Structure formats: structure tokens, C-alpha cells
């Protein structure tokens, strides 16, 4: 839901404070209220956070609730469900006054979005964020879709995302996972069913 008809700049967005705990995204200069997350989405993001932590990714590189500035027609700020930061980005955020990945910072290594019901949400995750995260140079973008019971892994190859879709007991293949000493295969079923 659009909050105001006024087009905002990044500076306007960063200075915006309505004295509430409402979460917002900025999409092409429009301030959008982010509905409270579904419990399922939070459980999936928490499960993946814990999984990556168990596989040896340090906690300071894992983020839930960190914003990222991306390119759009106008100023756009996204609020992914989960991010894995690179070492360089974790260092850059240490001195930041706000937990926002700005355009002058390196991109995260991975962004995960959990799809919520509704055509607008699906379009946002599958179309708009895909092109924005690709343009931002994010190595991998995972779209976890509990509705379709699948996980789409988008890997950046020569500036474009290559897509692989995993379902059921498919082991998720990912360059991020292959660099870890994975003790157990991560499958779509594990991500979607262990969160029930």
C-alpha cells in the first residue's frame, strides 16, 4: 500500500520517521507499507539463518532486516528476508549509521526472498527484484516459494542471472553451498517442511 503520493528521494526515505514500528520499502520513489510478515515466511528465513550459521557462515555476515538500495526508475530500497554479506560488506556496514546497504558498498553474496501470496508480491519477487538484484551485482538470489513448493536459485553469470528451479527432495545446488563443508544436503522439502 502506497503511503503518500509524494515522490521521495533516498534522502527523504532515510529521514522519514512516523514514530511507529511500521516497515517500509521505497519503490520507484513511492513509500510502501510492508505488511507484517506471515509466520511461515519468518520461519523459513529463520530456518535458513540457522542452517547457514550451522554450516560455518559467521553470524556477523548473516542479516535479517537489513535494507538494500537498488536501481529503479526512481529511488528504490528493498527489505529482503535474509542476506549473506561478503566480508567487505560486513566491514562497510560496521561504520554505517543505519543497517542499509547503499550503492557505494559492495553487494551482498546472497539475497533470499520468501514469496507471499498475491499477484503483486509474486511479480515483485520474480520480476522486479530479480532485475534489480541482477543489476546490483548480487551473486545469488534465492526465491523461496511455499505456494509453488519450489526454490529458484538465480546465479549471476557474466552479468545475467541463470535460473535453476528445485522441487521436493532435490538437493539445492549453489556455489555458496559448495564452498561450505555442508554436513547435510539442503533440500526444498527440508526448507519448506521443517518450518511447519
Render pLDDT for 4-31 as a digit per residue (tens, 0 to 9): 668 999 999 998 988 888 889 999 999 9
Domains of the chain: 37-193 (3.90.1570.10)
Render pLDDT for 159-183 as a digit per residue (tens, 0 to 9): 999 999 999 999 998 888 888 776 6
Q: Which residue has the cell 548480487?
A: 138
C-alpha to C-alpha distance for 54 and 42, rounded to whole angstroms: 18
Q: Is 152 in contact with 143 (CB distance < 8 Å)? A: yes
DSSP states along 166-186: EETTPBPP-HHHHTS--SS--
Which 3 state secondary structure label does DSSP give 59? helix
C-alpha to C-alpha distance for 158 and 149, rounded to whole angstroms: 29
Render pLDDT for 107-140 as a digit per residue (tens, 0 to 9): 999 999 999 999 998 999 999 999 999 999 999 9
Using CB atoms within 10 A of its CB, is residue 104 exposed (0-12), middle (13-18) or buried (19+)? exposed
Q: Is 141 in contact with 110 (CB distance < 8 Å)? A: yes
Kindly report the pTM of this predicted structure. 0.90
Render pLDDT for 61-119 as a digit per residue (tens, 0 to 9): 999 999 999 987 788 999 999 999 999 999 999 989 999 999 999 999 999 999 999 99
Amino acid at each position: 500500500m502506497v503511503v503518500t503520493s509524494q515522490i521521495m528521494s533516498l534522502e527523504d526515505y532515510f529521514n522519514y520517521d512516523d514514530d511507529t514500528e511500521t516497515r517500509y520499502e521505497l519503490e520507484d520513489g513511492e513509500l510502501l507499507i510492508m505488511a507484517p510478515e506471515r509466520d511461515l515466511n519468518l520461519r523459513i528465513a529463520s530456518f535458513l539463518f540457522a542452517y547457514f550459521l550451522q554450516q560455518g557462515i559467521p553470524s556477523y555476515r548473516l542479516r535479517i532486516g537489513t535494507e538494500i538500495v537498488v536501481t529503479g526508475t526512481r529511488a528504490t530500497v528493498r527489505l529482503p528476508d535474509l542476506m549473506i554479506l561478503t566480508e567487505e560488506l560486513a566491514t562497510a556496514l560496521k561504520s554505517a549509521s543505519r543497517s542499509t546497504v547503499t550503492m557505494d558498498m559492495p553487494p551482498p553474496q546472497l539475497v533470499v526472498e520468501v514469496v507471499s501470496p498475491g499477484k503483486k508480491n509474486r511479480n515483485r519477487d520474480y520480476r522486479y527484484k530479480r532485475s534489480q538484484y541482477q543489476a546490483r551485482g548480487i551473486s545469488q538470489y534465492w526465491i523461496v516459494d511455499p505456494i509453488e513448493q519450489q526454490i529458484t536459485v538465480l546465479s549471476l553469470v557474466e552479468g545475467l542471472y541463470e535460473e535453476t528451479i528445485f522441487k521436493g527432495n532435490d538437493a539445492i545446488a549453489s556455489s555458496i553451498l559448495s564452498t561450505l563443508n555442508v554436513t547435510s544436503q539442503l533440500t526444498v522439502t527440508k526448507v519448506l517442511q521443517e518450518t511447519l
